[in-house]
Amino acid sequence: MSLPHLDVYLESYQLALIDDSNPKKGRCIVALEPLSRGSIITTSQPLATVTLQANRNEFCNYCFKKPQAMSPKVMPLQRCTQCRAAYFCNVSCFKNAWLGYHQFVCKASSTSASNKAASSEDPDTLDAEMLERVALNVGRYNQKEKNDRDAFGEEGERQEETVDVTMEAFLSLMGHVEDQPKNVLNRYKRIADGVLKKPYIASLGLSQQQLVEFLCWFQCNNFSIQDNQMFTIGEGTYPVASLFNHSCRPNAVAMFDGALLNIRAIVDIPSGEEVTIAYIDAAHSRTVRQKTLREKYFFNCDCVRCTDNTFFGQIDTMLGEEETDWDRAQRVLDPSNTKDNLRQEIAKQVEGDSWDLLEMCRIYDRKSNCVPKPSKPLTLSTYAHCFVQFFSPYLWSSHNPRLLITSPSLHNYRAQVDRLEDPQPPAARPPVRDTADEILSTSISLALSYPTYPGALIPYRLSTLAAATSYFYDMMADGHWENSVKIGMYIAIQYCFIYPQYHPIMAQHLLMLAKASWNSIVQLELLHHGRALDKLYDNGFRRWIALSKETIQSTFGKQSDQWREVLELEWIFMREQKLK
Ligand SMILES: C[S@@+](CC[C@H](N)C(=O)[O-])C[C@H]1O[C@@H](n2cnc3c(N)ncnc32)[C@H](O)[C@@H]1O
């Protein structure tokens, strides 16, 4: 299929869309030049978006931005006076939405019975809404195509994504119509028939079959839109971003800036290499990942994490199979979760006397080469403190030039190490390994060498991580800072195994850990009537700040709220240090 606008557009981003040798995989995007970690590889405009009902009055229904509640200069969202169902940040967003789709939906929803259905959160309603918006765009584009053809943009600089680029990408997407089970196709036919009954869709000249195809495309191409805290707030059709294939160990991530989607490199990507993103959360067992990818996207994943039977194979063995089909956001926010046995065991270990944060930090100091006794099972505390020795800060390069992720000058390197009061690599215990992979391999072998007992909590299992994540969020919400630090430290270790080093979930978590550490210091100092606390606390906080800064830079970027928050935290800490 010839895609002249799209090819020129991608080339302006140093990317090419090429056919994969495996026809079932379709095409893939490769880098034409080296792409550096943290850089935005390309941006993608939505062809259509739908907000989740629960968020409709929190985010602008057009740009998906949220007014900063605390800022007096920012206007609150304005509700459409006609349908009273959609919210916009200003007249400009309202006008854009009106021209695109709102004029149709607004009239229809104020009069028709479908108004009631549209207010529910069921998948058919979301699919129907998305279908209407996409159909409107495609129908109008088809009409425009009859009349004119736009000229290509200039070569040599990054181009704007024109409607032609978006449409060419959209109309070339893979939908696996032939692979869909009959019941799904029947459901799609029902949705398409419902949508076709609306006069503004019927007039576009699109057939039921075309609309069913669009619904199939949504299934294997659409993105969940996330807010800046990474909670899902809507769904979007992003045709250009949909061209990126999946890997469970990706080299890029999809990051939202309101309704705009940025694809960002999370490692240095050499020229000629395929750029991949993850379609699903990597915090799942190999079996669940592969099943989800087969059922929703119709392929057998042969990425490095799924096929490697040494390093990644060991990680998947470690994580285990004991997971329900949990979705982190849902589980974390589900209050009934507290009845979970595993959660109770976690609470017991964290809140019991055997986990004294300061004492454990002293025992597992990086100069002492301490590992828990192998005659006993690992507890959360021994696991977390022991593995922090291995991972931090050497897993994040700036402290160890030999990890070759960044190459800071020796001066900077020494300054960082001195500031964290960490030993130089030759003096560190356990010895610092040359590469992140070696650190991980050593850690996996160590973890797996401990005995497990039936019914006892196994720290490195996915089920433990799921319960711990829910417990962590509760502790943060209730202001139990010391408990948050303990369990947050454990979660950070688990993330080291599961996610690539520079991953937004890791960045977000490290920032929360840094906040919890700071609040815990303040709380403890108040309890001790202003006496300065042990230096170990300060060093712990410095470490989480240093790691969050480095990780946020490469994932959310320096324009993000996360970056502003981490700088603010650092500033407050420095000020307090000066005043002590
Ligand atoms: C969002 S599209 C990705 C772009 C697609 N390759 C194309 O040419 O349009 C998703 C589809 O691409 C294919 N795909 C994506 N990642 C793959 C992978 N790692 N291995 C095999 N097929 C993959 C699957 O057919 C999947 O349903």
Peptide bond into 430 cis (omega under 30): yes
Looking at 5-129, which runs of residues are DSSP E strands? Answer: 15-19, 27-31, 40-44, 48-51, 78-79, 87-88
Cα 474 to Cα 335: distance, rounded to the nearest angstrom: 9
- DSSP-derived letter for residue 339 is G
Q: Which of 19, 280, 297 to mutate to test the pocket of ligand 1 (most atoms within 8 A of CB)?
A: 297
Q: Classify strands 48-51 and 78-79 as parallel, antiparallel or unpaired.
A: unpaired
- DSSP-derived letter for residue 297 is I
pLDDT the model gives residue 428: 67
472 touches 481 (CB < 8 A): no
* Start-to-end C-alpha separation, the chain: 68
Give whole-number Cα distances, 358 to 140, 364, 536, in Å: 65, 10, 7
What are 570's two structure tokens? 């650092």
User: Is this prediction's ipTM beyond 0.90?
Assistant: yes
pLDDT the model gives residue 155: 42
Cα 206 to Cα 215: distance, rounded to the nearest angstrom: 13
242 lines ligand 1 (CB under 6 A): yes
What are 276's two structure tokens? 């991949």
220 lines ligand 1 (CB under 6 A): yes
566 touches 552 (CB < 8 A): yes
pLDDT the model gives residue 147: 61
- CA-based nearest residue to 508, from 491, 533, 524: 491
Which pairs from 354-357 meet CB under 8 Å and 24+ separation? 354/379, 354/381, 355/379, 355/380, 355/381, 355/486, 357/482, 357/485, 357/486
Please list the alpha-helical segments (H only) found in 85-181.
Answer: 91-97, 103-111, 114-118, 123-147, 163-171
Ligand 1: nearest atom to the Cα of 173: 9
Calculate how far, in angstroms, residue 243's C-alpha sits from the geometric centre of ligand 1: 8
Length of the chain: 580
245 lines ligand 1 (CB under 6 A): yes
Partnered with residue 257 across adjacent β-strands are: 260
Q: Classify strands 232-237 and 48-51 as parallel, antiparallel or unpaired.
A: antiparallel
pLDDT the model gives residue 153: 39
377 touches 453 (CB < 8 A): yes
Give whole-number Cα distances, 435 to 51, 221, 432, 520, in Å: 43, 35, 9, 33
- Judged on CB neighbours under 10 Å (0-12, 13-18, 19+), 309 is exposed
222 lines ligand 1 (CB under 6 A): no
Calculate how far, in angstroms, residue 301's C-alpha sits from the geometric centre of ligand 1: 10
pLDDT the model gives residue 218: 96
pLDDT the model gives residue 533: 66
297 lines ligand 1 (CB under 6 A): yes
237 lines ligand 1 (CB under 6 A): no
- DSSP-derived letter for residue 38 is T
Cβ neighbours of residue 199 under 8 Å, at least 6 residues apart? Answer: none
246 lines ligand 1 (CB under 6 A): yes
89 lines ligand 1 (CB under 6 A): no
pLDDT the model gives residue 398: 47
Give whole-number Cα distances, 470 to 218, 332, 335, 339, in Å: 30, 4, 9, 12
What are 468's two structure tokens? 């711990």
pLDDT by residue for the chain (580 residues), tens digit each?
789 999 999 999 999 999 999 888 999 999 999 999 999 999 999 999 998 888 888 899 999 988 775 556 667 888 988 888 889 988 889 998 988 888 887 865 544 434 443 444 678 888 999 999 999 989 888 877 766 544 333 445 777 888 999 999 999 999 999 999 999 999 999 999 999 999 999 999 999 999 999 999 999 999 999 998 889 999 999 999 999 999 999 999 999 999 999 999 999 999 999 999 999 999 999 999 999 999 999 999 999 999 998 889 999 999 998 776 555 555 555 666 555 678 889 999 999 989 998 888 888 877 777 888 888 889 999 999 999 888 765 555 444 444 433 334 444 545 555 555 666 666 666 776 667 777 888 889 999 999 988 878 999 999 899 889 989 999 999 999 999 999 999 999 999 999 988 899 999 999 999 999 999 988 887 777 656 667 778 878 888 888 888 889 999 999 999 999 999 999 998 888 777 6
Ligand 1: nearest atom to the Cα of 242: 1
Cα 457 to Cα 495: distance, rounded to the nearest angstrom: 18
Calculate how far, in angstroms, residue 174's C-alpha sits from the geometric centre of ligand 1: 7
Calculate how far, in angstroms, residue 172's C-alpha sits from the geometric centre of ligand 1: 12
328 lines ligand 1 (CB under 6 A): no
| 294: helix, strand or coil | helix
Angle (CA) 135 176 281, round 5°: 95
174 lines ligand 1 (CB under 6 A): yes
Ligand 1: nearest atom to the Cα of 25: 22
